Amino acid sequence: MTDKVSDNPATGVEHSIQPQVAVRDEPVALSFPAILRNPNFAHLNAHSVAQRQAAGEISSTKKKDPRDKDGKRRIRRLENSKFSFNPHIVQPTKRDFAIPVARAQPTFPAPLPPYLPRVSSAPSAVAPASDPTSTFAGKFSHSLRGARRVLRRRRGQAEPLVHAIEAELCEWLAEPGKPSDVDDYVIVSGIREVRRSPTELVWDVDQDSFARYIVHCAARWYGIVSFSKEEPDGTRLTHLLRPNRLDPTE
């Protein structure tokens, strides 16, 4: 009697179910002893595409750094210019950029010594004594620059006087022996010629101190010695002497 195999799957031999292994497209990672690994080739041990891409990005950023192309000396110069080797260097503050103001130091002693009085009056100015008989009488001590400054301030009043006085002095220096045409020759309003000689001119300035001042300024400009002197009758005459005349007949 032959046994028939039942077609019922429940009664059949049950096949063992084996797990399905996932198929990977990537290469299988192989193990390598750590003692034999070279650290210079660590970038070759990346086991995934992501790790390789990250390693590629790092290498690209390193290549783009301009300091990678610099030599050791250039890098050292840059570090020295920034004082990166000195940990005590700090950034300057606003106070460092402020210009220091010099503090005024008084030279006068404080407190005052006992031999210096607390309050002392200045001595009054002593007026110079005038001696008509002295050789310094009538000496003109004003500078030409100061004279020009004074005349420029009073240009309207001084200009016609300066032109008339200069013309008369230049004519007298060029032709000292030429006599005046008429007696009591009036040079300009307020100035009258009293006496004329090859070596001296005597003018009567009509008691005008400013006109007399202009006469002295013009005489100083042309190197003529000038002085004013009062006559016995009270009239003040201005004397003009020809400079450096050795022989008056020439």
3-state secondary structure the chain: CCCCCCCCCCCCCCCCCCCCCCCCCCCCCCCCCHHHCCHHHHHHHCCCHHHHHHHHHHHHHHHHCHHHHCCHHHHHHHHHHHCCCCCCCCCCCHHHHCCCCCCCCCCCCCCCCCCCCCCCCCCCCCCCCCCCCCCCCCCCCCCHHHHHHHHHHCHHHHHHHHHHHHHHHHHHHHCCCCCCCCCCCEEECCEEEEEECCCEEEEEECCCHHHHHHHHHHHHHCCCEEEEEECCCCCEEEEEECCCCCCCCC
Of these ranges, 19-23, 126-130, 189-193, the one predicted with the greatest mean pLDDT is: 189-193
Beta bridge partners of residue 204, listed in sequence order: 192, 237
Length of the chain equals: 250
**Mean pLDDT for the chain overall:** 73
Mean pLDDT within 119-127 = 81
> Do the beta carbons of residue 45 and residue 37 sit within 8 Å?
yes
What's this model's pTM, rounded to 2 decimal places? 0.42
Question: How high is the pLDDT of residue 42?
Answer: 65
Query: Whole-angstrom Cα distance, residue 211 to residue 207?
Result: 9
**pLDDT band of 215, cuts 50, 70, 90:** confident
Question: How high is the pLDDT of residue 1?
Answer: 45
Question: How high is the pLDDT of residue 139?
Answer: 61
> Do the beta carbons of residue 243 and residue 225 sit within 8 Å?
yes
**pLDDT band of 13, cuts 50, 70, 90:** very low
Question: How high is the pLDDT of residue 12?
Answer: 46
**pLDDT band of 26, cuts 50, 70, 90:** low
Question: How high is the pLDDT of residue 127?
Answer: 78
Question: How high is the pLDDT of residue 66?
Answer: 62
In this structure, what token pair is assigned to residue 81?
A: 């210019």
Residue 129 predicted with pLDDT over 80: no
Residues above pLDDT 70, as percent of the chain = 66
**Interacting residues of 197 by C-beta distance below 8 A, sequence separation 6+:** 248
Higher pLDDT, residue 95 or 248? 95
Mean pLDDT within 59-87 = 73
Residue 221 predicted with pLDDT over 70: yes
Question: How high is the pLDDT of residue 6?
Answer: 47
Higher pLDDT, residue 55 or 13? 55
Among 90, 158, 138, 170, CA closest to 239: 138
Residue 61 predicted with pLDDT over 60: no
Higher pLDDT, residue 207 or 168? 168
